Structure 1
């Protein structure tokens, strides 16, 4: 009886000690995890609206879905309101080739970087007004490029194409004169794919869409995959949340007012 009672007395302290050890382990793991987590930075856009940027940039999800029926109808409705008109498309997804039919009598130009896509274009890509485009920036550098653009006055989208093309790292060099000189009514950004850190991201295409749109007469810029961080960040930055007029699915539709010549950055953004 005495030994049994002694064992029972020892069990309770032992259980208590094991619980304390477990709690200390959990606390240690929590402290280690927090010490390696990156701080979240609060930055402001060109129009001074704050939003959170968590470095490092998260990996974009690989897109397996094509445009949904609702998304394509949304895109078609915007085009039908302006057709025939000038349409520029970053990307050469199969669905976008249908836009040529909707925009009969207008001009539809595609910019594509993937050789496999260019080879599939019926009659050769030059026959369809498709231009091969090179992107020299990568998705993994998006955060650094955004901070660079904010601190570099040459990346002000209100400066005009000539100044930006010679100074800003985000500018897409090598674009044909037709693309740079045309006043676009609609610009669609769905390229490059931007599906991994080492693939070309859409930083340059969203930026150039903003620059080209400011040279137009009230240009609609429609950005796809806005569920991804790069597309969100750069759309907020260079297209302006105040210019977003509608959305559907993974599309955001911005209406960019015509840029007044010799205006400052603030006046360009409606300040």
Structure 2
């Protein structure tokens, strides 16, 4: 008979039998904890990614809000269905815009040049138009001192605007229906009955036959600002009384008022070129005025 294993070895056999079960349980527990950690890590990464995307979107919206000013919806926008464009507080022409305007002046220089608004970048226009006559019309007193030491043939006049941009649509309806506002009436027929016409113009401005008229004033960056309704209307009247083929150059045509009043009083069919926020119209003195928008 084979010798029997001592009884003292039996516990060891039991230990060897139980040990693999304990190791398996421990390994399963480790794997479960590892899986939970991985799931939690994935969730954290997803949440972090969501927060980053939301934060980036909020920063983008905030940047746009700060860089553009809000122009409340006016009666004009409600009636036309157009959304007002953001207004730009700082008047800075791009290089292409400035070159565009300079080229127009150079083509006719020396000439009679009338400018609504006195911005820093326009101080070079009298030098481009040297030998001609350059007149600025400005409503803000602090800007008038910019022309000290100006070149010969340059004048600056202060004018006052009694309208506000929020009245734009009412003024447009008035001009369309009131006979005294008809462009066919001419300068001599301008009266106080036409609410959009600008009063108190210097006689020198009214009597001169202008070759180029630039409209970049007064301010139009808010509902309580003067708006350029009257300036564009007067540019249309003066251009039709000026030299044959008067150029009217309007800035900020991305805004509702500038766009609609230019179409109304300068006529889209007279638009000959554009660059950036500039529209350049050429108005023929003897063109047949079949309607207000001619």
TM-score after normalising by structure 1: 0.74
Q: Secondary structure at the match of 1:147?
A: helix
Q: What is the deviation of 1:58?
A: 4.4
Distance 1:169 1:267 in 2: 16
Does residue 231 of the first structure (1) align with residue 264 of the second (2)? no
Answer whether contact 1:61 1:195 (CA < 8 A) is retained. Answer: yes
Q: 1:136 to 1:103 in 2, by over 3 A?
A: same
Runs ≥4 residues deviating over 6 A: none
Flag the structure with higher helix content. 2
Distance 1:142 1:160 in 2: 22
Distance 2:216 2:91 in 1: 13
Partner of 2:186: 160
Q: What is the deviation of 1:104?
A: 0.6
Does residue 64 of the first structure (1) align with residue 90 of the second (2)? yes
Bigger relative CO (Cα 8 Å, ≥ 6 apart)? 1
Distance 1:74 1:187 in 2: 14
Q: 1:60 to 1:181 in 2, by over 3 A?
A: farther
Q: What is the deviation of 1:119?
A: 3.2
Q: 1:156 to 1:75 in 2, by over 3 A?
A: same
Please identify the structure whose Cα radius of gyration is greater.
Answer: 2
Answer whether contact 2:165 2:228 (CA < 8 A) is retained. Answer: yes
Distance 1:106 1:179 in 2: 14
1:175-214 to 2 correspondences below 5 Å: 175-214=201-240
- Point out where structure 2 has 5 or more consecutive residues left out of the alignment: 1-74
Q: 1:65 to 1:136 in 2, by over 3 A?
A: closer
Answer whether contact 1:58 1:229 (CA < 8 A) is retained. Answer: yes
Does residue 242 of the first structure (1) align with residue 269 of the second (2)? yes
Q: What is the deviation of 1:167?
A: 2.9
Q: Secondary structure at the match of 1:111?
A: strand
TM-score after normalising by structure 2: 0.69
Number of residue-to-residue matches in the alignment: 218
Answer whether contact 2:181 2:194 (CA < 8 A) is retained. Answer: yes
Does residue 266 of the first structure (1) align with residue 291 of the second (2)? yes
Q: What is the deviation of 1:153?
A: 1.6
138-147 or 153-162: which moved more? 153-162
Distance 2:81 2:149 in 1: 44
Q: 1:113 to 1:65 in 2, by over 3 A?
A: closer
Q: Secondary structure at the match of 2:147?
A: coil
Does residue 222 of the first structure (1) align with residue 249 of the second (2)? yes
Partner of 2:103: 77
Q: 1:66 to 1:105 in 2, by over 3 A?
A: same
80-89 or 159-168: which moved more? 159-168
Partner of 1:135: 161
Partner of 2:116: 90
Answer whether contact 1:60 1:196 (CA < 8 A) is retained. Answer: no
Does residue 255 of the first structure (1) align with residue 282 of the second (2)? yes
Q: 1:200 to 1:40 in 2, by over 3 A?
A: closer
Does residue 106 of the first structure (1) align with residue 132 of the second (2)? yes
Q: What is the deviation of 1:162?
A: 1.6
Distance 1:203 1:238 in 2: 10
